[in-house]
Amino acid sequence: MRGDPLAAILATKAYGSPLGYKLVERAPRLRRPIGIAMVITEAAFPIALLGPWWLVLAFFAWGVLFHVANAVLMGLNSFLWAFVATYPAIAFVWTLLHH
């Protein structure tokens, strides 16, 4: 993964963002680390259920920032609310596992 899919998505008309595309085009060395970090963080999210509460809150904070960035850069406004709406259910499952 070289990070090229990130630039390609940001260059599309449907999900693109001129500002986002300019940012990743100006910093090609950041595309790969950003892409890898996104995959690792999203794949690791279920692990938060096994950790302490502060870890769940950290994942929630990251998730909100990530989805706000997607809403702003890519115009995916419903994307933000759809994912953040799952947080109470995730908190409930964490509570069931730890109490």
The residue whose two tokens read 């109470």 is: 88
- pTM for this structure? 0.76
Q: Where are the domains of the chain?
A: 4-98
Residues 6+ apart with CB under 8 A from 1: 32, 35, 36, 39
pLDDT per residue as tens, the chain (99 positions): 455 777 787 888 777 788 888 888 888 888 888 888 888 888 888 888 999 999 999 999 998 998 888 888 777 777 788 888 999 999 999 999 998
